[in-house]
Amino acid sequence: MSRKVVITGMGVVSPIGNSVEAFGAALKEGKSGISRISFFDTTDFDVRIAGEVKDFDPGPWIDKKDSRKMARFTQFAAAAAAQALDQAGLAAVDGEGRRRITSDPDKTGIVLGNGIGGFEIVSESFKKLFNQGPRRMLPLTIPLMIGNEAAGNISMIYGTRGPAYTQITACASGTDALGQALDLIRSGRCETVISGGTESCIVPFGIGGFQMLKTLSTTHNDDPEKASRPFDRDRDGFVLGEGAGVLVLESEEHAKKRGAAILAEFAGYGASADAYHITAPDPSGEGGGRAISLALADAGLKPEDVQYYNAHGTSTEINDPTETKMIKTAFGSHAYKLKISSIKSMTGHCVAGSGGMEAVACVLAIREGFYPPTINLDNPDGECDLDYVPNKVQYGTINAAASGSLGFGGHNGVAVFKKYE
């Protein structure tokens, strides 16, 4: 029998709050973090809105010298990891003033999801290369831009010497990273893993690239809070967001031995590939439905044991009805009794950061007994006929929750969380 894996710490940097407390309060409030882009001039863009992280100061969490050598997505991950480790009681300041891990460093791993890397670094270095020549490029261009920079930096900050991986499966990266972390603990290779997802790509190159794919909302530039509207018939694309969600996972034995406060159980994970299209999900919903079923089986749960499903819910024409089919495929008639919501209606689509944030949302929902709303669900799409908790938070007992993520390339990842007994 595999070892039970539990969650002992969580951290968030997001468009709706830069702490777990602020994030949870915003979810209950149904607060939108979507606004006009402030990072650059959007005059020449069809898309002028995004879910920017606001008022972010890495100072309380990251040494200034370290922070200057990090891309924005790494700063997000490091700050969220610091919050999670503090809550878990696994970080302390050593004699040299450094924050260090207090668990066995050789049995502590890191698995973070990232889809794109340091986009702002890529953009800036290309600009310098083409305008001023190669000698004017940023000296740290390569180490700042690569996607594994976040895991590597957190390992160096805390002195962890177990595996340090980066999972890249596009928008499913954060959830898939958690699944890989689960396996590391179950196998006995690690006792503790810092895991989740992080992303920051709200730069001209990122917005322009997604704009050319015709995937972003363009009709709400003057009313940004209404732009992300999953499962609504008037949706016209997703809103790009940014941020990080990081959790501390431990074997139950390890957590109990040190007297840790256990937040929830990470009970199961499932993954599949659609083998269908580079950007679109398989419209039958079979691939995603199979990932849900695999996750439930891994958790030892029947469909009717789950009360809440955190949907990928991007607010795109194809994704939302397809995900509805996935849920029906896996849950059968119980799909109509599930509470389902997309917090991307509030945060926007934070790419690899989404899986980590949405895992945190599931744990908060279980612990505090609430179903986050899907805001802007004013005119439900006829093909999306399940209970998506429209517009206002609802309350109830949640013993088990699942979170699904779908990535470009046909990647499907699903994580299942349970109330800890």
For the chain, the distance separating the N- and C-terminal CA atoms, rounded to the nearest angstrom, is: 17
Taking Cα atoms as reference points, which of 278, 296, 276 lies closest to residue 286?
276
Active-site residue, 171 included: yes
- Name residues of the chain where pLDDT drops below 70: 1
The one-character DSSP state at 62 is S
pLDDT of residue 1: 53
- Residue among 220, 349, 362, 384 flagged as catalytic: 349
The domain segmentation of the chain, as residue ranges, is 5-257, 264-418
State which fold the 5-257 domain adopts. Answer: Peroxisomal Thiolase; Chain A, domain 1 (3.40.47)
pTM of the model: 0.97
Helical axes 173-186 vs 352-368, angle rounded to 10°: 70
d(CA 109, CA 163): 5
- Say if 5-257 and 264-418 have the same CATH topology: yes
- Residue among 190, 201, 254, 312 flagged as catalytic: 312
pLDDT of residue 97: 80
pLDDT of residue 187: 97
d(CA 380, CA 358): 22
d(CA 38, CA 203): 10
Task: Please count the CA atoms within 13 angstroms of the CA of 247 that sit on its side-chain side.
Answer: 34
Active-site residue, 349 included: yes
Q: Which CATH code of 3.50.30.30, 3.30.1340.30, 3.40.47.10, 3.20.20.190 fits the domain covering 264-418? A: 3.40.47.10
| Residue 362 three-state SS | helix
Active-site residue, 384 included: no
- Residue among 171, 201, 350, 362 flagged as catalytic: 171
> Whose structure tokens read 């083409």?
130
Helical axes 204-212 vs 119-132, angle rounded to 10°: 100
